[in-house]
Amino acid sequence: MNITLKDGSVKEYGEAKSVYEIAKDISEGLARVACAGEIDGQIVDLRTEINKDCALNIITVNDAEGLQVIRHTASHILAQAVKRLRPNAKVAIGPAIEDGFYYDFDTEPFSREDLDALEAEMKKIIKEGHELKRFTLPREDAIARMREKNEPYKVELIEDLPEGEEISFYDQGEFVDLCAGPHLMHTKGVKAFKLTSSSMAYWRGDSDKARLQRIYGTAYNKKEDLAEHLERMEDAKRRDHNRLGREMKLFTTVDVIGQGLPLFTPRGTKMLMKLQRWIEDLEDNEWGYIRTKTPLMAKSDLYKISGHWDHYKDGMFVLGDEEKDKEVFALRPMTCPFQYYVYKNEQHSYRELPYRMSETSTLFRCEDSGEMHGLTRVRQFTISEGHLVLRPDQAEEELKRCFDLSYFVLSTLGLEKEVTFRLSKWDPNNRKKYLGDEDYWNRTQEALREVLREKGVPFVEADGEAAFYGPKIDIQAKNVYGKEDTMITIQLDCAIAESFDLYYIDQNGEKVRPYIIHRTSLGCYERTLAWLIEKYAGKFPTWLCPEQVRVLPISDKYEAYANEVLQELRKNGIDATVDNRSEKIGFKIREARLDKLPYMLVVGQQEEADRTVSVRSRFAGDEGAKPIQQFVDEITREIRTKEIRPTVEE
C-alpha cells in the first residue's frame, strides 16, 4: 500500500501498519511527539491500523489538533482521579473544548480544595504512566458493562447510538471510559495541566434533566504555555464585566427580581443614556432614520401573522392560555411586526422609499437559566433596532449603508478590530423552519455575500444560523473567556411583506411588494456595555465615563473654589463631582485612580489665586496647572470628537 505524507512523499508498505508505527518509521523524534493521525482528512487514533492507500498527516503536540488530544486525555485522567477520591461519583461526559476540557459528574459540588486534591491525584496517575488501551464491544455487551459499573449516563449514551455503531472504550489502569478518542498513548504524555473552576451543569444541557457538577481545566504540552494561559485567564478575571461592572457600581442583580433582569445604578444608567442618545442622534440626524415608539406586548394574533408564534413561541413570555382566555398576549421578542404597522398607517409612493424606521426597543426573551451570564445574555434588554422598507433596486445600496453605519459605530467605540463577520445562511436540510424556496435563499444569501466581498472583510459562512425569513450578516465578538456572541446583525427579508400585505405604489400606479432590511446599528445596549467594560477594563473613553472629572480640594478652605470649578464644568456638559471629604489629598488621588477616572483637578491656594486647576489624568499623569477655560476647551473637544486616548498611568 502507498501512504502519501503531508510533504508529498510516499511510503510503501507490504502489510497493515498503525499510524504510530508509520510515525516511528519516519523518525523516532516524530513518534515521540505524535498525538494522532489524519487519514484522508479524518482525525484518528495513533493506534488506528492502515491497510490501504491513503493520505496521512501525523498530528503532533505542536498542532492545534494535537493540543485537543492532550486535553481530551487530561479529561480522562481527571475522571479517573474523581473516581479514586469519590468512588460513588457517576461520570457523564468529558470533551476537549477550545481552551481546555471539562468533565461532568453526578456528585456533590466541588470546592477549590477539592480541585487541588484532584490535581494532586492526577499528577499521581500521570506519574504512574498508564497506557491508554482502546477496545470495542458489541452494543449489548457495552450496555451490560456500564450497567455493571453503575454508570447510568454512559448507558444512556450507548443506547442513543445508532444500531451497528462501533462502540469503543479506553482502558487506563483501573479506569475504563466510553469514548471515541483519539487519545495519547499513555498518561505520561500530559505534561502541564490545571483545574480552573467548577460549576453546575444540566445533563445534556436540559434544565429538566439531572443537575451535574462540571470541572473545567486546561492542558498544554509545555509548562511555559500553561503559565501564559493562566496569566491570560487572570487578566480575563480582572476584566470580566460581571465582576468589574459590579465593583464599579454600574449594575447589580437581585434574586427576588429574577435572573437575567439586571438593575442599573446611576453610573451604569448614565453610560447607557450616553450610548442611546448618541445612536439616536446619529441615526436621525445623519443617516436618515425616523423614530418610532411601539408597545412592549401584543396579542398572539400579531405573532401568528409574522410567523414568530410558530417559529419562536418557546422563546417568548406568553401572558395567558389560548385554551382558556379570549385574548392571549406576549411580551415582544422583536420590533419588526410593530413597525410594519407604522409603515402601513399611510400609503407610500416609490418616491418615499427607502422608509427607514428606528426604535430604541426594549425586548424580552425567555432565555434558559443556564445560558444567562451578566449582561451578555439577559431576559430583558434594549436594542438599537431598525427596519428599512425599500424597493428591490435599492437593496444593494441600503445593505451597504447599514454595514457602513455599523462599522462607523464600532470604530467610534474602538471595537472595529475586535469583531469577526459571519454570513448566516439557511439549512436546506431543515426546510420547514424557513419561509421561501431554494431560489429565494440562494438569491438573498448571494446579495449579502456580495456586500461582504465589496467591503473587503474576511467572513465565514454558517448553515442554519439565518432567521426563518432571511439570511443575515452577523458581526460577532468574543468575551474575555473566548465565548462568541452576536453584537450587530443585518438581515435581508424579501418574503415577510406578503404576510403583512405591505406594498408601495410604483411609477405606474401599481401596488408592489417591498423588500425589508432588519438591522441594528449598535445592537443590544446591555451586551455592548459588557463588551466595553471588558475591552477597556473599566477605563472607558472620556465621553462614555459616568464621572469624567473629580475636583479635589487640598483642604476645606478651598471647597468654595472647588465648587466654583465644578459649576463651570457642569455648565459645559461635563460630568463632574467634588470630593469634599476631610481626607488628605494623596488619599483622594488614590481613590480617584481606583475609580478609573479620566481626570482629577487638584485645587489649593495657588490654583485659587491664579484661577487655574492642576490636572492629573490617566493618559499623561501630572499635566500641570492650566487655566480653567483651557481645560474646559480641551476636555469638551475630547468628548465631542469621542477621542480614544491610551491609558499610560496605572
Amino acid at 612: T
Say if pTM beats, i.e. exceeds, 0.85.
no
Q: Over the stretch 66-80, which tens digit does the pLDDT of each residue have?
A: 999 999 999 999 999
What's the average model confidence in pLDDT over 290-315? 92
User: 465-486: per-residue pLDDT in tens?
Assistant: 998 889 999 999 999 988 899 9
Peptide bond preceding 182 in cis form (omega within 30 of 0): yes
pLDDT of 294 higher than 80? yes
- Mean pLDDT over 612-619 rounds to 96
Residue 164 pLDDT exceeds 80: no
* Percentage with pLDDT > 70 across the chain: 100
Cα(149)–Cα(145) distance, rounded to whole angstroms?
Answer: 6
The predicted model gives 12-27 an average pLDDT of: 89
How confident is the model at residue 613, as a pLDDT?
97
Give the pLDDT confidence score for residue 560 in this predicted structure: 95
**Predicted pLDDT of residue 649:** 56
Grid coordinates representing 373 are 451570564
Say which residues have a Cβ less than 8 Å from residue 417's Cβ, sequence separation at least 6: none
The pLDDT tens digits of the residues spanning 522-547 come to: 999 999 999 999 999 999 999 999 99
Q: HSE of 372 in the Cβ direction (CA atoms, 13 Å)?
A: 19
Residue 431 C-alpha cell reads as 426546510
pLDDT at 161: 87
384-429 pLDDT tens trace? 999 999 999 999 999 999 999 999 999 999 999 999 999 999 999 8
Per-residue pLDDT, averaged over 90-98, amounts to: 93
CA distances from 610 to 561, 595, 613, 615 (A): 11, 29, 9, 14
Residue 25 — very low, low, confident or very high, per pLDDT cuts 50/70/90? confident
> CB-based contacts of 580: which residues, under 8 Å, 6+ apart?
553, 556, 559, 562
Comparing 25-34, 327-336, 441-450, 563-572, the range with the smallest average pLDDT is 25-34
